[in-house]
Amino acid sequence: MGNIADKLVQVTQGMKIDVGHAALTVTKALDYVGIDDKSHGRRVGLICHRIAHLLGWNRTRRHFILIAGMLHDCGVSSTTVHRKLVAEIEWEGAEEHCLRGDQFLQSFPPFSPFAAAIRYHHTRWQDLPPSLDDETREYANLIFFADRLDVAYASFIISHPHHEALLSRERLLAELAPYVGILFSDEIYKAATHAIQKDSFWLELREEYLDDAIMEALSSEDYEISLSFDEIESLGELISQVVDAKSPYTHYHSLRVADLAYTLSGLAGLEPYQRRILRLSGLLHDVGKLRTPDEILEKPGALTDAEVAQMRSHPLDSKRVLNSLFPNTPIAKWAAEHHEKLDGSGYPFGWKGDQIDFPTRILSVADIFQALCQKRPYRHRLNIEDVLEIMDVMAGKGEIDLSIYGLLKANKEELYTIAIKT
């Protein structure tokens, strides 16, 4: 236990984080929104980096555009919006996710330098505001170009083996030719005509090569910085905003679960450093839900067995992202196990009794309580007595921790206020 406690204390005192590697991990979470195509953000980043070489950009600018390209769709949480993004060159409403992405990135200082490029990455080259500096104009337009080129590539590989992109490289690029000088700068298009001639340009877009190519590019510069725990929490809040924006029925869910877990853990007597780490896990516990289709989250009626099965994969999707972002901490473990129940009826592991640790039990109670307090597509918000009536049944079945639930009931008004805060 002492070793775990030492690690928790170290995290709350701050940690070193590489901005590029953090962006890669966040992008993997964002790419969940594509469901079947879970590499779009990373491919766009790599395409930007490769074309930047042919534009003659120096190492610092290439590193910048790689990260910006990976983060470009951080304003997209909805699978419905993602389908529009990959179906059309331009579409009405595209600017909305650009504005949201700008806002999200501004909230986390290490990512804020990329915000302006993301803000304008669906703005036509000829319509970019004159007030933008030249570098930001180039960054935004290169992201726009790479994004649309990847859409052409992704459509191609649906019905063709990946390697056949080498035989169709000219045709794929030609899909964007009619928009040169209007949507895209002539200089970027010319650089792309040379970049696509390299077989590696296309082959490294394959999933089995993609991360290695990105990691090699990221290692060319040392962007490691030290973050305070307040800054780490701001990263968690950024990601939670992306997750909670997925549906109007999940707005503030992650933030309120985090605040409930923090308050309950204080009532339970946990140490301050444990409480802060648990709050961070609460912020991120549902990151795997980015992979859940909107129509499941917003379905007004009962889910089918197949839909339930798809929903039940989200804890392991969360675990994968959080283990990469916060290694050597229990953050991923707590998040992945928040649907476990003490009687063994939970998922995904079916743990029971002492297999479920105390912080996880707190997070589970906080998640259940907040979900019942929040409006959902199939019902209105429940009042506190109705919530407790449902949870009384769960407690009676031995599904949730009685000591934690007792603390919740003893402080029900305070916790209900936290749960419904908007």
Active site residues: 289
Residues 100 and 237: their CA atoms lie apart, in Å, by 14
Phi, psi angles (nearest 5°) of residue 19: -60, -40
Task: Find, among 194, 130, 149, the residue nearest to 45 by Cα.
Answer: 149
Phi, psi of 226 (to 5 degrees): -95, 135
Handedness of CA 239, 245, 246, 252 (dihedral sign): positive
Amino acid at 344: G
Q: Are 332 and 285 in contact (CB under 8 A)?
A: no
Q: How many CB atoms lie within 10 A of CB 412?
A: 16
CA distance 346 to 361: 12
Contact 73, 101 (CB under 8 A): yes
Backbone angles phi, psi at 370, to 5 degrees: -65, -40
User: In the numeric block, which tokens belong to residue 58?
Assistant: 């120096």
